[in-house]
Amino acid sequence: MAETLHCTVVTPEKSIFDAEATGITVPAWDGEVGVLPGHSRLLARLGNGELRIRATGGDKTFYIEGGFLQVADDRVTVLTDSAFDVADIDIDAAEQRVNDLREKDRGEEFAEARRRWLARRRVKERFLRS
């Protein structure tokens, strides 16, 4: 059995991660899924939340929004609608964006932006506390 698996994270715009890892944890739509080397084949729908990768070059954490997970032959592919490196999320800029939308009162667009901002903030706060 291999000691690592190859992990790729892809958004519609670009590939944001492509390296060897010793394990990953992803937010499935119905709970977290952990994947280690030797995992059986799997296809899962993803939810929003924290994607944690224990990479051989250092741990990486991303906030992802939906998508799919495929596991086959020690290769993990995460196809997601959007992904942000948690270290790059600027809470102040996100708060300003929410305030701007609140002023414009865009109804559903505001609610969606607020939901995403809150989810990103929870992930960042959880990451900073660990």
pLDDT tens digits, one per residue of 56-67: 888 999 999 999
Q: What whole-number distance in Å separates Cα of residue 15 and Cα of residue 78?
A: 10
- Please state the rounded mean pLDDT for residues 30-43: 94
When comparing pLDDT for 94 and 36, which is higher? 36
Q: Kindly state the tokens that stand for 89.
A: 């999320």
* 99 residue type, one letter: N
- Please state the rounded mean pLDDT for residues 48-55: 93
For domain 5-86, say whether CATH 3.40.190.10 is its number: no
Q: Are 55 and 25 in contact (CB under 8 A)?
A: no
How do strand 75-79 and strand 5-10 relate by DSSP bridges? parallel
- Say whether 2 sits in a helix, a strand or coil: coil
pLDDT band at 107 (very low <50, low <70, confident <90, very high): low
Number of other residues whose CB lies within 10 A of the CB of residue 87: 11
The predicted pLDDT at position 124 comes to: 81
Write down the number of H helices and E strands in the chain: 2, 7
Model pTM score:
0.70
- The residues with which 28 forms a beta bridge, in sequence order, are 31, 46
- List C-alpha distances in Å: 41 to 6, 73, 80: 14, 7, 19
Residue-range domain boundaries for the chain: 5-86, 89-129
